[in-house]
Amino acid sequence: MRLRSKILLLATLPLIVAIVVVTLLVMRGAKDLSEQEIAVFEANMLAAKQAELQNYVSLALTSIRHIYDAAGPNDTAAQDAVRQILNGMTYGPDGYFFVYDYSGVNIVHPKQEFRVGKNWWDLEDRTGNKVIQGLIKQAQAGGGYHRYQWEKPSSGAIADKIGYAVALDKWQWMLGTGLYIDDVVAQAAAIRSDVEEGIEDTFLIVALATVPAVLLVFLTGVAINIHERRLADTKLKALTQRIVDIQEEERARVARELHDGISQILVSARYVLESVLHRAKDGDGESLLSTLETCEGRLSHAIREIRRISRDLRPQILDDLGLSPALKSLVTEFSERTGIEVDIKTVAFKDLLSAEVKTALYRIAQEALTNIERHAQASKVVLRLESLPTGIVLRIADDGIGNGSSGLRRSRDSAQGFGLRNMQERIEHFDGHIWMEFSDRGAVIEAHLPKSVLQAQTERLKVEAKNEPKSADHGYVGGRPPAGAGGDPRLS
């Protein structure tokens, strides 16, 4: 990709962002403005309804005032006269007056006569609103409005309603009326729908004008970037594995040098010192004896250290006996060194794993145990090596303090340091992945390898067995079939 093309791509991306941001801001501003206008419209309509309600209630009070003012608190005749007047006062198909006493018993309801004489104190609308209690509360407070849902007499449908109530304290009555506001809600919804359609049309015009051309350039750049990234990832993966292979080769060489060279020399020197020590014990030289004992102890310590370093660099047991014995040897040495209890269960894969896969799993277990020893403050570790239908799983769990974070994460997102990154690079080379979970109750690391690593090794062993010369007696050199040439090539 030329520099000019890269610059064009980098210039196009901010343009896309700018167009999207400007479009969203314009749409948001238009929507906010329309909502404000709708809110003002609804407020004005409700104010008009409230003023109308006050006028209706004032008219009702004027109609009964001459009776109410002259009556006493228990004047049943006056109360009957007021009920008759209010029952006859209606306006429009849905306008009427209602009366309840302060306990919730209905006194007057010309449109729903079945309510008269019954207590409706706990009546609720569909939203859970206490209708009668709210109206009585507003009346006792000196008169006020209460919004609720109620059945329209003309249609039987439930609609939003705003009521206005006043108190007739002498008789402990609440007098009120209400107006349905479903027309206001419908008009506001219609205005809102028109505004939203306009916003959608504007967005569609902007999209049709700008998106296709910009999207074409963007997708071209994305395709080029993906192609280059895949090439880079492939090269990086190959380079990483080559580095790992070189590390293992160098470790094996250093281990052999330590074991075959320095270790043998030190062992020989220790034998000489042991001989001198035995002779000195028969003589008088107490100082010579003390010196020789010190020298022998230091040589023994040096031999142990060299063997430990050699084992850490490249455990010979991994090449000689296989992965399972090597893991058991590793956890035994770990437990003896740290005092941490290790519960290990593994399966033997015979020759079904390649040397690279065995090395990768061993190094992952080694790195995990090293991290536990340094950071976890654990008292118990559980190590499991299993073969599942989906592949191979190596699981190491501890009951330590974790790493201060929590949650389950996968592969690259969970990398915290070089050690964990090294685990991931090893396992990803074989198309596997690592799950890591850290919490205050401990840590869990699971390395998953696909079934293909077993199948690939089995096929390789079959090819090698096919190419081996057969003996006259049994058909195979040595009188036995090589691993993978026959029988069930599963776990032992």
Mean pLDDT of 319-325: 85
- Residue 474 maps to which CATH number? 3.30.565.10
Query: Which of these ranges, 252-256, 396-400, 407-411, has the smallest mean pLDDT?
Result: 407-411
- The more confident residue out of 387 and 8 is 387
Q: Note the pLDDT tens digit of each residue in 364-376.
A: 998 899 889 888 8
Counted domains in the chain = 3
Q: Is the pLDDT of residue 467 over 70?
A: no
Q: Could you tell me if 342 and 393 lie in one domain?
A: yes
Q: Could you tell me if 176 and 258 lie in one domain?
A: no
Q: Report the distance separating Cα 184 and Cα 41, nearest Å.
A: 9
Mean pLDDT of 213-225: 67
39 neighbors 187 (Cβ within 8 angstroms): no
What is the chain's mean pLDDT, rounded? 78
Question: What pLDDT score was predicted for residue 194?
Answer: 76
Q: Note the pLDDT tens digit of each residue in 137-160.
A: 999 999 999 999 999 888 888 999
Q: Domain of residue 251: give its range.
A: 218-287
- The more confident residue out of 284 and 317 is 317
In a domain, 276, yes or no: yes
Burial class (CB in 10 A: 0-12, 13-18, 19+), 401: middle
Q: Which structure tokens are listed for 314?
A: 């490249």
- The more confident residue out of 104 and 490 is 104
Q: Which structure tokens are listed for 348?
A: 């033997």
Question: E strands along 36-192, which residues?
Answer: 90-91, 95-101, 106-108, 144-151, 158-168, 173-180
Mean pLDDT of 251-264: 68
Going from the C-alpha of 323 to that of each of 219, 272, 315, 373, the distances in angstroms are 48, 37, 10, 22
Question: What pLDDT score was predicted for residue 318?
Answer: 81
Q: Which structure tokens are listed for 215?
A: 């999207």
Question: What pLDDT score was predicted for residue 485?
Answer: 37
Nearest to 446 by CA among 380, 388, 377, 404: 388
Mean pLDDT of 220-241: 73
Q: Which structure tokens are listed for 104?
A: 């919730």
Tell me the pLDDT band of 136, cut-offs 50, 70 and 90.
very high
400 neighbors 378 (Cβ within 8 angstroms): yes
Q: Which structure tokens are listed for 312?
A: 């850490």
485 neighbors 462 (Cβ within 8 angstroms): yes
Tell me the pLDDT band of 222, cut-offs 50, 70 and 90.
low
Nearest to 304 by CA among 371, 370, 259, 340: 259
Q: Note the pLDDT tens digit of each residue in 457-466.
A: 666 666 666 6
In a domain, 9, yes or no: yes
Q: Could you tell me if 157 and 17 lie in one domain?
A: yes
Q: Could you tell me if 328 and 443 lie in one domain?
A: yes
Q: Could you tell me if 458 and 341 lie in one domain?
A: yes
Q: Could you tell me if 107 and 174 lie in one domain?
A: yes
Question: What pLDDT score was predicted for residue 259?
Answer: 66
Calculate what percentage of the chain has a pLDDT beyond 70: 77
pTM score > 0.95 for this model? no
Mean pLDDT of 264-289: 68
Q: Report the distance separating Cα 405 and Cα 403, nearest Å.
A: 6
Q: Could you tell me if 326 and 259 lie in one domain?
A: no
Question: What pLDDT score was predicted for residue 417?
Answer: 59
Which one-letter DSSP state was computed for residue 392?
E
Q: Is the pLDDT of residue 98 over 90?
A: yes
